[in-house]
Structures are given as structure tokens and as C-alpha cells.
Amino acid sequence: MESEELRNVGLKVTTPRLKILGLLENAKAKHITAETIYRQLGESGEAIGLATVYRALAQFEAAGLITRHQFEGGQTVFELERGPHHDHIVCVRCGRVEEFYDKVIEDRQREIAENFGFTLKDHALTLYGECNDENCLGRTG
């Protein structure tokens, strides 16, 4: 249950937090902005203050429940951290987001950091391109 998840990371179980977690699980889009969370909760009658949404997301991130991504030209998006690590490829025309994991790249990153004498803590990799989805191609030609 979601209550467990909150307790496990040392957060009090509150209605706003449960609603936000629940929305992250059930939202159609996996990568979602704070604004969207705020708006969707409002529309479904579960009004939560925007400040609370931001606060909860920051806490969830600190607790490792979610991750945050900043795709170029867009606002910050959040996603539930379930399953293994992955990076993203984003269509610059339609905004479609796909996920991938590439062991070759992950390994090289570690080697590169090592060569510079860095202890690798994190990385951000996003590919940008134009997708071949029919709904995307249809828009611009």
C-alpha cells in the first residue's frame, strides 16, 4: 500500500501525499509536471495546494521514491522510481518520451569518471530527435 511506502521512508502518512503518490501511479503520462499533478488533482475534486505538491515531490525525490528530469525547453517532470534505472529519448516535435537502458553507455560513464578521478554519483542523459509516430509526422509534414 502507498501508506507503507511513505512510512518506510520516514514520512508521515497524510492525505495530500497519498493523493499525489496515487496520481503518479495512475496517470496516463509517466513523466508529469508539478502543475499537471496540481491541476489533475483539482479537476478530480481532490484539491491540494500547489506548494504542497512541490513540497511532497521534493520529499519523495529525497526519499528515492521518484526522480526528476529536466528535458530541454520544458518544465521539470517527475516519475515514479520503480524498476531499474533508465535514460530518455524525447521527440522535439511531439514531446513523446521513451525510456532506454544501455549497459555499454552506463559502463563507459563509470570508466570516464574514474579516469578523471571522480566518484560517479549520478548522471543525466537525454537524447533529442524526431520520432516517426504518425501523429507526430502529421503535425509538421
Task: List residues near a copy of itself by CB under 8 A.
Answer: 70, 72, 89, 91-92, 98, 100, 102, 104-105, 108-109, 112-113, 116-133
Among a copy of itself, DNA, Zn ion, none, the one that 94 touches (CB under a kind-dependent 5 to 8 A) is: Zn ion
- Is 131 strand, coil or helix? coil
Residue 11 or 113 with smaller CB distance to DNA = 11
Minimal distance in Å, beta carbon 96 to a copy of itself?
Answer: 9
Give the torsion through C-alpha atoms of 16, 41, 44, 49, to 10 deg: 70
Residue 30 or 55 with smaller CB distance to DNA = 55
Minimal distance in Å, beta carbon 27 to DNA?
Answer: 16
Residue 51 or 124 with smaller CB distance to a copy of itself = 124
Q: In angstroms, rounded to a whole number, what is the distance separating the alpha carbons of residues 31 and 27?
A: 9
Selection from 93, 98, 79, 74 nearest residue 37 by Cα: 79
Which residues are at the interface with Zn ion (CB under 5 A)? Answer: 79, 91, 93-94, 96, 99, 131, 133, 136
Cell numbers that stand for 134 in this block: 504518425
The region that residue 117 occupies, defined by phi over 0 for left and psi between -120 and 50 for alpha, beta otherwise, is: left
Minimal distance in Å, beta carbon 75 to DNA?
Answer: 5
Minimal distance in Å, beta carbon 141 to DNA?
Answer: 25
Selection from 87, 98, 80 nearest residue 136 by Cα: 98
Residue 2 or 106 with smaller CB distance to a copy of itself = 106
- Strands 87-91 and 76-80, by their bridges, are unpaired
